[in-house]
Structure 1
């Protein structure tokens, strides 16, 4: 077969080349169009660059993300030895990423190191120490107290573990609390011969507590006076100690010979409320088959009366103010 002429071959090659160039040009234009379109779409979605929050304070991160129109999501907290408490450990998306406004940025927050230095609690009140221990993730341990001239009552004197110790969280701290300066002891005075009311007032001036009051019948001592006391005169006592008294009573209807047996009594106190006018106060004792007026007189506002009431038979004490019943009390025998 004869070969085609050379002119025909050249024409075919030129035609093929033109087709290839057109296809390449079309593909290039399509790529450029796609790139331009994608750029316009991204710009149209209002993107922002995620800031670097790692190591930053949580409040700072919240403020920055809010200004950028992004949402903050805390995905967890954990202890971290290098990142301080309430600072960001890591984030998602990472810093530098371009995202649309309104998207979430997830952060993980540090709870501080697992081990901490024990704070110094000396001089704080118990309530203040509890607040500080809670802030450090610690707890209160055993409490004990002792007198101290250097610390006010209620202040922390010492602690264990001591300040500066490296401890793990949830460690409980034992505290030694001051009871204030120790109260000085003094010699007990002799109350023999005092009336019960005078003896009680003197005990209160010495900051001593009135204990039990019992009565006896003795002919060798004046009636209605103190004949015995515990602790005895000269014994070392301190403010707040209790003092028991024995009072000589003459009771009608019984023989007065001998020492007799002790009758339990209790101190009854009543104070008239404050005001401007005197009021009539009556104190009546009711026992089975017996009623007895213990007090009937006018009292000034704020005035107080003290009465020794025998408790045999569980008597009922009734207090009337201007003929109106104001108080009822049952005196139970021991």
Structure 2
């Protein structure tokens, strides 16, 4: 019968077995941790990206870069900035270098350019080109004036104020002097008798003559609402820019007298700009004996309407111009 193994041998075997179990356990734990870390890095690498630096970059470039990274661009506002050019990014949120998930928003603030700019040179441009250039630079059109010039074609800008090259603030309005072309020689005044007031004014504009005083008279036996008198008379020598006074035949005797019964009365004048796509300049002038007043001069959007209170006293004539063209005349 074999003798039992010594106790020391049993203990050595037990320690050896325990050591093997611990090594296996440690190996499995390390393998699990490694797999977890690897999987986490893979998942994280697929779902997150590093935000690029967009400050100072063109907004279209930034939009393209963020789109390629699977991020959304959100413009949180615009502001004037002396250092960042127009349409370039002033700042961003999150900052460059931040790690965010795909599909998240990156908010940017876009520059509108410097608040002060150099006034562009408008000389030689057409009025349409000038308006486009002013709008692109955040400027506006001011007072329009015209005069003859042998050097500039009709409609070209001859001079401006503020002058080109000066530093101006945004929203500054530029007053413009527009060429009317070479001066025309004197010619014989045409006969306006029998024409309607609107037709007579259109003919004067074609001849580059100004509308002077418009009077209301009563001539029996003569068609109503037609021109019955003019100064200068037909055949008189006139030159472009001269004023022509006219008398219109009207039958309403109460309105002709201009007496005290309507001296304090007013009438509502309404004008609506026709539908379209662009704003147009609308001018409303009131002609009275010996005086011509500007009642309205501004740009209106298509379909926009203006209301003006016109005094009845003196039988004023209202002239409406759209982009420099006479579109309506009315005797109040």
**TM-score normalised by length of structure 2:** 0.49
Task: State the structure with more CA Rg.
Answer: 1
